[in-house]
Chains A and B, each alone.
Chain A
Amino acid sequence: MTEAHVRVENLRKTYQTRTDEIEAIREVQMDVAEGEFISILGPSGCGKSTLLMIVGGLLPLTSGTVAVAGENVSKPRRDTGVVFQAPVLMPWRTILKNVMFPIESLGLREEEYIDRAHELLEMTGLSGFADNVPSELSGGMQQRVAICRALIHNPNLLLMDEPFSALDAMTRDLMNQELLRIWEEYKKTVLFVTHSIREAVFLSDRVFVMSPRPAVISEIVTIDLPRPRELAIEETPEFNEYVAHLRGLIEH
């Protein structure tokens, strides 16, 4: 195997509060190959967001190393895109201008990316909404805008922190399918945080199971299901075996 795209070694993270220390992550090791779709699965409060934010360079670590493309991460990288749990769109900007925000803040030339912005909006079924404002879009549509925004500068690594957890079940299924379609098209490495077992199985090449806090990776499960995947795959016995297996791991 060539150099890992994302490598996490002996990662430890303790939050310092005024009164005490909270050990969020005790010991995490991860090796993620280029183009892999990885889910990080664990109960709420176990440290998934913490891990993802450290990989994104948005939080300092306590000890250990996190490297992306062979370089230690200490601040946000230009080749990473992050999608948060909420869409966090700027209400004063149109959808197109929201998608273009990273181009401005990264100091790139806007003319060179405007076509790509339209292409991403087209890809996510939002081409008719470029000039709308966020409040005119549903929650699912807003989160799709956030995905377009995370992809606009053509990053190699996409970090997604429970991006669909606020959506209703049906919208969520559709979004998962759409996300896979985007991933097949652009072939990014994805780290996808979730506490939904079915979502993790449906999307991933491998699922990293995190223990309750203080977190360690308790298990890595390779999901050997054919791609491209459609929602119908959730009815197959193989799919449900993975779900049952993961549920067993989490409940212990």
Chain B
Amino acid sequence: MANSNGGKNLFSLISQIGGPSVIFFVMLVLWQVIVILLKVPQAILPTPLVIIETMAKHWELLMIHSWPTLSECLMGFGLAVVVGMGLGISLAFFPKFHNSVYPLIVAFQVVPKVALAPLFIVWFGLGTLSRVLLAFVIAFFPMVVNTYAGILSTDPLMVRMAHSFNANRWTVFCKIEFPNALPYIFSGLKIGITFAVIGIIVAEFVTAQKGLGYLIVFAEGNIDTPLLMAAITVLSVIGVVLYAAIVALEKMVVTWDVGQDLH
């Protein structure tokens, strides 16, 4: 509901988060107990408490490698958002353009983009550029496709209504098509940010310079499984925070009821 009051929202938020949190906590406890009971070696699976301990001990190291991962991820994602939405909008504006470009986009979408990582290293080296570009190409496709699909899903009768009040192409886009596309665009953003994180991590595996992906490979090389798990934990937290930020923004922007297919 769009206009429910703050107290109600807070309550529903707590009840929404409450259930999963309890289950998550129970899982951690089970994990801890089972690993200890079965005497699983630390190099195979450390306990949650050991991972937390390791995180505390190596906090600085983890942070040093988190920042490049976070910043490069945001750069790749940001680029994907700008270029992807731009192209999605252009496709809707120029039907001729659509006919020649959209089949290519669909074809490229099928290419497993992570396979491009070695190629990007050959072209762009081992630095930030390669990693950002890999995140970009992965996150780019859901942005284009969702933006375009969102605009296309506009009710033609609503466009006709706007025309009946002398709306020009630009007004129709800004006041009808773009708001109509917003729920789709947010779906694209949510998929895109997830993809961008994957892109950066894979690129960090391959370039092996810095970042949490690099730290994971490094820890694995030293059979330091607690550090590996600590890095995965930090990475997961980053992923969840980025995703949650987009969901929060979506809640602020898309306040109207959207057809069920999008939820």
Contacts and interface: CB of A to CB of B under 8 A. Distances in A.
Given A88-B155, A104-B171, A105-B175, A76 B163 contact: yes
B252 to A, nearest CB: 13
| Size bin of chain B's contact surface | 20 to 34
Contacts, number: 61
Interface residues of A, number: 23
Contacts of B157: 84, 86, 88
Contact of A76 (B3, B164, B255): B164
Contacts of B155: 88
A76 B2 contact: no
Given A90-B176, A104-B171, A105-B175, A84 B161 contact: yes
A101 B164 contact: no
B263 to A, nearest CB: 14
Contact of A101 (B160, B175, B182, B257): B175
A133 interface: yes
A58 interface: yes
Given A90-B179, A92-B179, A104-B171, A135 B163 contact: no
Interface string A57-93: 0100000000000000000101011101010101110
B158 interface: yes
A56 interface: yes
B163 A58 contact: yes
Nearest to B157: A88
Contact of B164 (A58, A135, A136): A58
Given A101-B175, A133-B2, A92 B164 contact: no
B123 interface: no
B167 interface: yes
A35 interface: no
* Most chain A CB inside 10 Å of its own CB: which residue of B166, B168, B255: B166
A102 B167 CA distance: 8
B256 A101 contact: no
A231 interface: no
Given A92-B256, A101-B175, A106 B164 contact: no
Interface string B146-162: 00000000010110111
Interface string B1-19: 0110000000000000000
A92 B155 CA distance: 14
Given A105-B167, A105-B171, A133 B256 contact: yes
A102 B164 CA distance: 9
B165 interface: yes
B104 to A, nearest CB: 26
Given A92-B256, A104-B171, A105-B171, A56 B179 contact: no
15 contacts: A76-B163, A81-B165, A82-B164, A92-B182, A92-B255, A101-B175, A104-B175, A105-B167, A105-B168, A133-B3, A133-B255, A133-B257, A135-B2, A135-B256, A153-B165
Interface of B: 2-3, 155, 157-158, 160-168, 171, 175-176, 179, 182, 254-258
Interface of A: 56, 58, 76, 78, 80-82, 84, 86, 88, 90-92, 101-102, 104-106, 132-133, 135-136, 153
Given A88-B157, A133-B255, A135-B2, 6 more contacts: A86-B157, A88-B155, A88-B161, A91-B257, A105-B166, A105-B167
